[in-house]
Amino acid sequence: MQTSAIRLLFCCISLLYFQVGQLKANEQLPINNTAITTTQQVDSALEQQLDAMLALQLTDPVEANNQLTAIIAAMNERTPLDTKVRALTYQLFNALYASDTAATEESLALLQQFKQSELSLSALVEIQAAALEVDIFQNRLNEAYLKAEQIQNLMTDISNPRIRYWVNTLLARLFLLDTQYDKALKHYDLALDALFDTADSRTLVRRIYLSQQSALVHAEQKNWQAARQVLEDAYAEIKHHKRDELLPDVYLTLGFVLVGQKDFAAAEEINQRGLALAKELNQQSLAITFMNNLGSVYIQQENSTAANAILEQALAEAEQLNDEENVQVIKFNLGYTQIMAGNHQVGLQQMQQAFAYYQQRNYKAEIEDLLSWFAKAYKLMGDYKMLAATLEQQMQLREEMVTAEREQNTRDLQARYDLKSQSQQITILQQENSLQEELIKNKKLQQTITLMFVVIMLFAAILLINLYRKVRRTNKRLKEVNKQLEFQSLRDPLTGLLNRRAMQEKMAKRHISGDAAPCALLILDIDYFKQINDNYGHAAGDAVLIEISRRLSQLVKDSEMLIRWGGEEFLMVLNSTTATQIDLLSQQLLKVISELTINYEGKEIAVTISGGFINLPFAQVPEHQLNWEKVLQIADMALYLSKVNGRNQITLIDGLKVPFAVAEPHLQSDLNGAIRENQVSYHIISG
């Protein structure tokens, strides 16, 4: 198991000067209360000292922190606010990175006080961006998005290249965390534009950082060649400027990309270089990471002897540093090398012990990745029963992750909408307060001039009428937006098909109305979909999903439902049909999917599909005994049998050969067992 792209992202943060920040959840940009000037006032001598301190961060962070403390101590009442804000922002980041909550809040409050003074626009944006950085660091992304919109509105008037660079990299990191890769790349490009206006000791460091982040965006999208080219260009630039201390992070990222390309020889060479340089620079933790990645490369090359040797060395050093996470990763890899060497039980036990560590942390993405290695291990051991069980566990976990991600995205969208609505309400209240104050002043004037009193009251009435109309229009728009959100909540955004929630609502209404009209459930799964994503990219996978949705839509009636059930799975809810009709539909479905390849960017992608079919209610069993979810679970097991038995086929469950009470235990989790014991009648339609 190699170091992940997300871990690489945090390895690269050392190249960017101090990035982090946060405001209170409902705080607004105080433009109405803060005096803003267009001129930036700085202390040139202190600014140079701050630049020198940043350069020292890369090689001696302790001394850099001492210098920052001395700079802040030297500031006084005559120090320009722009320089004060910059220095205190760095102090905030030191506290934040050290997880010192009290010091972080104190530093943030101190920066917020400057908003009551006359600030340059650059200083105001720097304070707001620092607050946004805290939001991102503390994973308060919904609040971060609201602040990001406000900051972007001010950025067009910022000329300071340091702030333009920093804020755009900050915004890019926010969008990267939300997998909005196009927006992330846009802001990295804007940050690169800002570097053209700089020519100091930090310019190269910042440019290399941007190259690494751009490469990581490409890597997250499996665009390995683009990522490799960016990193090789960055390597050439570092060598040209003889700044070898910047190479370790580039080597680490490039090694990850080369493994993604399956260029294991090049990955081995680059990790060897990184290991040598990490040792030369006395970066022991980084050296351990390179050794583990080398071991992973050797495993990919099926060289268990070399893998075991380097991993044993890495384990000893990780244990010496008390680096528990690296210890568990390395132990897991060592267990796999034992299985490669034929020591199956020893290796499996070691892998399981390390796996328990990740289960305790409940990081599902890591657990899903580890299950892939368990599957490979069982395949090497020839234990195909455990291989099948592991793959089934992995499929269930993926479905849970997809469902959890979808639900979280929905909650995030709602939370962001609520925050934005709250922000707008505060702005409206501020406007109403201003209007009220004006009316009070006018009322005093009206006491001496009767005619003016009448005119102003008339004017106020017109304003109130307009405000009332505006509120009505706003309420109407909100109703329209709510209707649109309700419609979208029942649709899959990629294919436009109904989603899982639509099915749940239909079945809930069916149950409440008491109209339990018979229907049929046909669950389908695209064969080898992961290979399509791996070989052609996720964009190609999306194109396949869209085309399959189109073809399936042609086979369902208006009164029937076609649902994207999750990932590459689809569910058809059909009207009650005869066995002959459903057999004909199954044959037609398999033919429609497989007879024509899907063209994507000039590449022909062959696609087949497998399925499982069952009637609802099943075998005349009342639905209070066997509801739709349990019936669908049986269909899902039938789908699994179609996969196991060769794919491109549909397994149709016809009925029961024994009483339901006899078959029920098998029907809960082992359809194959029920078939084996002749409890269930079924037949198969092959493509």
Is the pLDDT at 582 greater than 80, yes or no?
yes
Is the pLDDT at 415 greater than 60, yes or no?
no
Is the pLDDT at 153 greater than 80, yes or no?
yes
Q: Are 448 and 441 in contact (CB under 8 A)?
A: no
What is the band of 51 on the pLDDT scale with cuts at 50, 70, 90? Answer: confident
DSSP 425-483: HHHHHHHHHHHHHHHHHHHHHHTT-HHHHHHHHHHHHHHHHHHHHHHHHHHHHHHHHHH
Mean pLDDT on 634-659: 95
* Range with lowest mean pLDDT among 87-101, 383-397, 461-475: 461-475
pTM of the model: 0.49
Tell me: domain 1-17+160-262, CATH 3.30.70.260, correct?
Answer: no
Q: Are 104 and 142 in contact (CB under 8 A)?
A: no
Which carries the bigger pLDDT value, residue 417 or residue 265?
265
What is the band of 402 on the pLDDT scale with cuts at 50, 70, 90? Answer: low
Is the pLDDT at 20 greater than 60, yes or no?
no
Is the pLDDT at 601 greater than 50, yes or no?
yes
CA-CA distance, 88 to 111, in Å (whole number)?
7
Is the pLDDT at 568 greater than 70, yes or no?
yes
Write the pLDDT tens digit of every residue in 426-443.
444 555 555 566 666 666
Q: What is the pLDDT of residue 10?
A: 37
Q: What is the pLDDT of residue 447?
A: 67
What is 500-686's CATH number, 3.40.50.620, 3.40.50.1110, 3.30.70.270, 1.10.1200.10? 3.30.70.270
pLDDT averaged over every residue in the chain: 82
Is the pLDDT at 18 greater than 50, yes or no?
no
Write the pLDDT tens digit of every residue in 216-237.
888 878 888 988 998 989 888 8
Q: What is the pLDDT of residue 361?
A: 73
> Which of 212-221, 424-433, 557-566: highest mean pLDDT?
557-566
Q: Is 425 exposed, middle or buried (0-12, 13-18, 19+ CB in 10 A)?
A: exposed
Give the percent of the chain with pLDDT over 70.
83
Write the pLDDT tens digit of every residue in 350-362.
888 888 888 887 7
Q: CA dist 42 to 48, 92, 123, 201, 287, Å?
A: 11, 19, 10, 19, 41
CA-CA distance, 135 to 264, in Å (whole number)?
39
Which carries the bigger pLDDT value, residue 672 or residue 1?
672
Centroid of chain to Cα 386: 31
Q: What is the pLDDT of residue 485?
A: 59
- Residue entry with tokens 């751009």: 214
Which carries the bigger pLDDT value, residue 189 or residue 542?
542
Q: 3-state SS of 517-547?
A: CCEEEEEEEECCHHHHHHHHCHHHHHHHHHH
Write the pLDDT tens digit of every residue in 504-518.
888 888 878 776 788
Task: Report the first-to-last Cα separation within the chain, whole angstroms.
Answer: 38
Q: What is the pLDDT of residue 24?
A: 29
Residue 348 tokens, joined:
């499996």
Write the pLDDT tens digit of every residue in 508-554.
888 787 767 889 999 999 999 999 999 999 999 999 999 999 999 99
Which phi and psi angles does 394 have, rounded to 5°? -65, -40
Which carries the bigger pLDDT value, residue 388 or residue 532?
532
